[in-house]
Every structure is written in C-alpha cells, then in structure tokens.
Chains A and B, each alone.
Chain A
C-alpha cells in the first residue's frame, strides 16, 4: 500500500515521444527496411533512376502502341467460339473438381473425418499439393503429357478446383454445430449416414456459395490457360502476343477483363440471392 505514496514522491520523468531503446529499435527497423529495398532492387536489376518517370512512360507506351484496341478481332466468330470453349472448360472442371473435392473435404475436416489417423492426413495432403502448385504450372505439365487442346486445360483446372474448393468446403464442415451430428449418431447411424443426414444439410447453403465462387475463380484462370497451350481465349492471346500485334492484344485483354468482370458480378449476384432465399 505504500507504493502510490512512493511513486508520488518521485518526480515524474519528463515525457518525450521516443525513449532511448525503443526509438533506436524503430530507427533500426526503418533503416533495415530501406536497406532491404535498396538491396532487392539491385538484385532484381531494377533501375532506381528509371522509377520516377515510370507512370508517364507506361501511359505513353500503352497509348502509342496499344491504343486503339482492335475490336474487330475479338468480334470474329472464332474468338466468340473460344469464349464459349473457355466457359465449357471452366464449367466441366468446376463440376468434376467439386465432385472429387467433396469426399476429400469430408475426409479432410478434422471434426467429421471417418479416420483421423489415415484419411485426414491423406486428404489434406492431396488438397494441399493441388493448392501449392500454381494452376499455370499444372497446365504446362499436362500439356506436355496429354498434348495441346482443351483436355489438358480442363484437367489442370480440375486440379486447381480441388485445391481451391477442398480447403473451403472442409472449413465449412469444421464450422457446423455438433448437436445434429450427435443426434444422428445416437440413433445408430454409420459414418456415411452421419455425413449424409447431419453434415450435408448444415453445409448445403455454404457449399452452394463456395461452388459458385469456385466457378468464378476457375473461369478467371480458364481465360488464360490457353496461353500455355490449352484451349480457349488464352490461345488467341498467345498468338497475338507472339505476332506482336499490340492492338489485338489490347482488345483481347480488355475483353478478358470485361468477361471476367461480368462473371464475377453474376456469381456475386447469385450468391447474394441464395443467401437471401435461405435467410
């Protein structure tokens, strides 16, 4: 009880924004960050002197060579067919990927997995390895194995879909309420029946949202898999890039941005509608 008296007797130290050791750490951290920036720019061979005027130069190049976009190129029937192909690839990949990802999500959810020792790590490993490799690398590998065309693109997207949706679906399972599960289990249901009658009804809405979102992401990737030898719009992009037809490239890139933007809006709208219809 004597402490307050003692501290009151002591004169308060004069306040300052930075004290001795803390301020030193702060300056050291700032200095280290600056040094890191300087060093990494050097390692990446990025010219620091060229950075200030970069926006102006970027604008100049884009307006000189890429403007106006060659709109007729993307309105041709070949390109429209490629857009439809892209849609088909993304659609098949999403549906097949989801069908594979659903059991994996069940096995890979910590609370509901039928076997924590074997199936759980196995499912997690599959989903993780699909996830950790970038979808374009899958595309390149599969094009090397299967050959050019829509099939390798679809397979690559399927793997990507498994990795992407598997994690989200499993997280949805991990968030369910335990009550219905215990009730169904108490009535003598086996593991599969528990999944079917206690887990599935709880995650149905979340999974529908995830499925649509996954399609959206897969479609975005499907627009460019053609760049690496699979079919779809990306194939046109590659041809124009290789022929250095800048205005065609501009038109294709703009069309990709526009189409993906629309797909994203549609998917967001459907997801919102589902959420509203359920609530």
Chain B
C-alpha cells in the first residue's frame, strides 16, 4: 500500500470491507446477546417458577432453618479432632498418590519429550482431561464402589483427581524448559533418560513442588466432603449430624472444617513461599 495514494478506489474497497466486517460482527454480537438472554429467561422460569414450591418457602421458614445452625453444639468439638486429623491425612496421602501418578502422565503429555510423539501426547492429554473433568464426588463414588467404604477410597479418588492439575502444569513447564542444558547434555552423548533426569527435571522441580503444595491445599477442601460418599473423615461426621437432624452439631462440624481449611491455607502459603 505504499506510494500510490491517488488510487482511492483501493481505499474505498478496504473501507467497505471493514464496514461489512463490522456490521457482521455487530450482528453476531446481537445474536449472542439475544441467545444469552433467552436462555436465562427460559432457565429462570424453570428453576424459580416451575420447580420451586413457593407456598412452602417463606422468609420465616428460611430464617427458622438458618437459625437452627446458629446454636453451635460445642460438646462434640472434642470428638471431631480424630476425623479432622483423618481428613488432613487423607488429603496428604491423596496428594502423594496424585504426585506419583502425575509424573508419568506429564511425561506422556509434554510434546517435546513424549516417548512416541503424537500418539502418546494425545493419550497423556486425554488422561489429564479425564482426571480433571470428573468431579471428585464421582471419583469418590467410583472408588467406594471399587475398594469399599473407608479412607482408602477417598485417598485414591483425590489422587486420581489431582493428576490432571499437577501433570498439566508440569507438562506445560516441561514444554517451556530452556533448551540450553538439554542440548549441552545431548552434545556430550547423554541418553534420553539421562537428559530427562539431569537436563529437564531440575528445571521443572520448583513448578512441580509449588503446584503439589497448591493441590494439597485444594485437596484438604475436597477431603472434607469425601465422607459424604462413604470415605471417612469430617464429611462422615457431617453426614451423621445431618442424618440425626442435629443442626448445632452440623454447625460445629462446619466450624472445624473451616478451621482446618484456614490452617491448610496458611501452611501452604508459607510452604510455597519457602520453595519458590
């Protein structure tokens, strides 16, 4: 487009194209807005109007139910220490299982080191998506079905659920490693495994550990509900209090859960700070 300024038709042509594109994008945007609004109306109609029995719900009834939670039953506080410890241990072991399983998945799912190239890369990415896209409650149900009630099911469920996040971030870190050390090692005749161990691993270790600590923090949150599907810990205590309609007890369990989560968050904050 240099020089020939007198050739105005060319510019007109461009201007018309830009205007057409703008019109089209505006039309697309309006259609999007319309769809979003229509979907909202349709869904709200179902959720708030059709599916909710408003004659049964009133502000008083809701307030009354909410008030039941206010009378915290501190007498069971002491008996919750065991389940709280169990929950924390479940989260820790689950994270360890996830950590161990995430290493091979990250190895498959990192484009630059995937052993058989494209095929294993797709398998690795698929495993990551599968692990992440299934909710922990579903994983919990699957493992309770497979290994029976108890903490083991929770540990395995959280381990499998953790693979996705850890291996995805580590695989991305592996794809971004600086090529210098890798080339240097290749130049002195290192094998693939040696390059992996001494050229790539030292570069991704900080990311790996940081994300494992982050995932541990998230797993504490997850392990508090594992008991609801049959894998011990505080979730089981919550379920029991709920089943006996002891709302004060439910409030106490929730309080312990909150304390545990805050403790986990503080601990992971300082641990991450120490590592990175």
The interface of chain A, by Cβ under 8 A from chain B, is: 37, 40-41, 43-46, 54, 57-58, 61-62, 65-66, 85, 88-89, 91-92, 95, 132-134, 136-137, 140-141, 144-147, 149-151, 154, 220-221, 223-224, 227-228, 231, 234, 237, 241, 246, 249, 253, 256-257, 260-261, 263-265
A61 touches B146 (CB 8 A): yes
Mark B134-156 against chain A: 1 for CB-CB distance below 8 A, else 0.
Answer: 11011001100111001110010
Distance, CA A88 to CA B254, complexed state (A): 29
Distance, CA A160 to CA B185, complexed state (A): 47
Give chain A residues whose Cβ lies under 8 Å from the Cβ of B254.
133, 137, 141
B155 touches A44 (CB 8 A): yes
B93 touches A44 (CB 8 A): yes
B90 touches A44 (CB 8 A): yes
A150 touches B47 (CB 8 A): yes
B47 touches A92 (CB 8 A): yes
B134 touches A134 (CB 8 A): no
Mark B29-50 against chain A: 1 for CB-CB distance below 8 A, else 0.
Answer: 0000000100110111011100
The interface of chain B, by Cβ under 8 A from chain A, is: 36, 39-40, 42-44, 46-48, 51-53, 56-57, 62, 65-66, 68-69, 85-86, 89-90, 92-93, 96, 129-130, 132-135, 137-138, 141-142, 145-147, 150-152, 155, 221-222, 224-225, 228-229, 232, 238, 242, 247, 250, 254, 257-258, 261-262, 265
Give chain B residues whose Cβ lies under 8 Å from the Cβ of A151.
47-48, 51-52
A147 touches B47 (CB 8 A): no
B265 touches A40 (CB 8 A): no
Distance, CA A128 to CA B57, complexed state (A): 29
B47 touches A88 (CB 8 A): yes
Give chain A residues whose Cβ lies under 8 Å from the Cβ of B90.
44
Given contacts A133-B257, A144-B68, A256-B134, 5 further A-B contacts (CB under 8 A): A44-B86, A46-B151, A144-B247, A146-B62, A223-B138
A43-B86, A146-B57, A149-B53 given; A132·B133 CB < 8 A = no
Give chain B residues whose Cβ lies under 8 Å from the Cβ of A256.
134-135, 138
Give chain A residues whose Cβ lies under 8 Å from the Cβ of B152.
44, 46
16 contacts between A and B (CB under 8 A): A43-B86, A44-B90, A44-B155, A92-B43, A136-B137, A137-B254, A144-B247, A144-B250, A146-B62, A147-B57, A149-B51, A150-B47, A151-B48, A151-B52, A231-B51, A260-B133
B66 touches A46 (CB 8 A): no
B93 touches A40 (CB 8 A): yes
Which of B137, B224, B258 meets A227, CB within 8 Å? B137
B53 touches A62 (CB 8 A): no
A272 to chain B, nearest CB (A): 14
